[in-house]
């Protein structure tokens, strides 16, 4: 089960999945989605067609930007674990202390924007990882001080490989 929140025309919507069905604000919707390339999709909904292109992904904050018929929409993803924690009332735990940064997927490090000793705040960009022909900005999930950088610009990394230690 997943939940995606997005706003359009100053109204917030909640898209969710359950038992293979898709819902928008608890109303089941039927649409046809076909993948046209690695980051693009063609959507048919209510006899209208939409072209969607994934513009940016932030794996740390579970947010992404989607260009839908030329308009950028920001989406926030909650997975099964996020929804369970929210249901238990512990989703807003204070995450002031930064943990180590590991590669969320295999890829190539395009740039590292920090150095050992740097102090970072939640949301600061740390590095750019190219994966599946997309550049992904990996941001700090919390505040901290960089202790050591375990990879270099141009290095290939595997999923869960340690890149930055705090």
Task: Give the model confidence (pLDDT) of 35-69 as tens digits.
Answer: 999 899 999 988 899 999 999 988 878 889 999 98
Residue numbers of the domain that contains 27: 3-87
> Which CB contacts under 8 angstroms, 24+ apart, belong to 36-43?
38/132, 38/133, 38/134, 39/132, 39/133, 39/134
37/80 same-domain check? yes
CA proximity to 11, closest of 28, 24, 30:
24
Provide the percentage of residues in the chain whose pLDDT is more than 90.
Answer: 44
CATH number of the domain within which 57 lies: 2.40.128
Let me know if residue 92 belongs to a domain.
no
Residue 125 lies in a domain: yes
Q: What is the pLDDT of residue 36?
A: 94
> Other CB atoms closer than 10 Å to residue 101's CB: what's the count?
24
Do 27 and 77 fall into the same domain? yes
Assigned domain for 136 exists? yes
113 within domain boundaries: yes
How far is it, in rounded angstroms, from Cα 138 to Cα 125? Answer: 6
Last residue of a domain, one of 53, 87, 121: 87
Q: How far apart are CA 28 and CA 37, in angstroms?
A: 27
Mean pLDDT by 10 residues, the chain (166 residues): 80 86 89 90 91 89 89 89 68 57 92 96 92 89 90 95 93
Tokens of 75: 């989406």
pLDDT at 98: 63
State in Å, rounded, how far the first CA of the chain is from the last one.
Answer: 32
Would the pTM of this model clear 0.75, i.e. be above it? no
Is there a contact between 145 and 157 (Cβ–Cβ < 8 Å)? Answer: no
pLDDT of residue 94: 44
Predicted confidence at residue 149, as pLDDT, reads 97
Report the candidate in 1, 164, 165 with the shortest Cα–Cα distance to residue 83: 1
Cβ 44 vs Cβ 55: under 8 Å: no
């Amino acid at each position: 089960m997943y939940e995606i929140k997005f706003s359009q025309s100053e109204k917030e919507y909640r898209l969710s999945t359950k038992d293979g069905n898709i819902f928008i604000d608890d109303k089941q919707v039927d649409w046809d989605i076909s993948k046209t390339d690695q980051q693009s999709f063609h959507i048919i909904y209510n006899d209208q067609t939409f072209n969607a292109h994934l513009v940016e992904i932030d794996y740390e904050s579970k947010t992404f930007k989607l260009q839908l018929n030329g308009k950028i929409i920001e989406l926030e993803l909650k997975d099964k674990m996020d929804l369970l924690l929210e249901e238990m009332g512990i989703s807003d735990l204070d995450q002031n202390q930064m943990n180590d940064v590991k590669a969320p997927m295999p890829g190539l490090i395009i740039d590292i924007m920090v150095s050992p000793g740097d102090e970072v705040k939640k949301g600061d960009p740390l590095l750019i990882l190219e994966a599946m022909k997309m550049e992904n900005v990996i941001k700090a999930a919390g505040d901290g001080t960089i202790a050591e950088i375990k990879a270099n610009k141009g290095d290939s990394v595997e999923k869960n490989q340690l890149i930055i230690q705090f």
